[in-house]
Amino acid sequence: MNNTETVPILRLTEQGISNINDVVAREFAVTIVLNGRELVTLLCSPADLQYLAVGFLLSEGLLTAKDEIRRMTDDYRTGTVRIDTERDERPTGAAASARSITSGCGGGVSFHSAADVVQGQAKVESGAEISTHEVMALMKEFQHRSSTFIATGGVHSAALCDRNRILIFSEDIGRHNAIDKVFGECILNGVPTGDRMLFTSGRVSSEIVLKTARRHVPIIVSKSAPTDLGLRLADDLGVTLLGFVRGGRMNVYTHDRRIARDGKQDC
């Protein structure tokens, strides 16, 4: 299903007024039904709903591997993805009621409480390295791939990369959704995530770091800013966090040992 729609608008510029057609990002409501029960309704871009649903369950710790999925169907007409898993599991009691709502640019929800966010999450152990030159080249490719953003200015992008190229790419009106779609696609298509990198257009808050660490990804590269909790969590979980990667510069917030310094001329 298409992520965009064309609408007639009035454009006012210094040159005057014109009636034009403009492309806007679509906003679609999808309900995830887990083991017969409505789990959540997400507002998202309408493409790749199964990837989104699986990625969301991964991020919430309600799914850990593809073979736990017994059956999955989507219905764009009703905006529903139904997933039956081996474990008949959903958040209950305190976990279901103490909902932690994300802050911004990308929305989302977490069933865990912010306080115990690190508990039970193992550190990411990886000897992966990347040079500043490679980071810059990948960011350039990442931005060129963002066709919905280029058309609408209204979506976020996320990608799984190795040192040389983009392996999985996604766009969504939500920064959380775009990342969940990437990890959902990885799980469903058997694409390994360890020793690789997550690229994101959006702000890196604590939940973004947590969902990335859950997929054992050692390096996060963002075009935007981190929050203080995001970088503290990255520090605790052994994740290398790069922000503001644009215009020939970058900030390295945590675990700079994975950045191979290739000298001034490459940066």
Phi, then psi, of 144 in degrees rounded to 5: -65, -30
d(CA 138, CA 112): 33
The yes or no reply on residue 236 touching a copy of itself (CB under 8 A) is no
Q: Which is nearer to a copy of itself, 87 or 261 (CB)?
A: 261
**Interacting stretch for a copy of itself, rule CB under 8 A, among 102-110, 121-129, 161-169, 190-198?**
102-110
Q: Interaction with a copy of itself in 188-217: which residues (CB under 8 A)?
A: 202-203, 205-207
Q: Which is nearer to a copy of itself, 128 or 229 (CB)?
A: 229
**Interacting stretch for a copy of itself, rule CB under 8 A, among 120-128, 170-178, 185-193, 212-220?**
170-178
Q: Give the chain's end-to-end CA distance (angstroms, integer).
A: 39
Residues 6+ positions from 15 with CB-CB distance below 8 Å = none
Say which DSSP state 258 is in. G
Q: Which is nearer to a copy of itself, 190 or 264 (CB)?
A: 264
The yes or no reply on residue 21 touching a copy of itself (CB under 8 A) is no
Using alpha carbons, select from 25, 52, 36, 42 the residue that is nearest to residue 187: 52
In sequence order, what are the beta bridge partners of 156?
172
Binding-site residue total for a copy of itself (CB under 8 A)?
78
The yes or no reply on residue 42 touching a copy of itself (CB under 8 A) is yes
Would you say how long the chain is, in residues?
267
In sequence order, what are the beta bridge partners of 160?
168, 198
Q: How far is the CB of 67 from a copy of itself (least distance, A)?
A: 27
The yes or no reply on residue 140 touching a copy of itself (CB under 8 A) is no
Return the residue of 68, 82, 107, 129 that touches a copy of itself, per CB under 8 A.
Answer: 107
Task: Tell me if residue 161 falls in helix, strand or coil.
Answer: strand
Q: Interaction with a copy of itself in 54-83: which residues (CB under 8 A)?
A: none
Half-sphere exposure of 158 (CA within 13 A, CB side): 27
Give the residue numbers marked as catalytic.
Answer: 105
Return the residue of 73, 86, 104, 189 that touches a copy of itself, per CB under 8 A.
Answer: 104
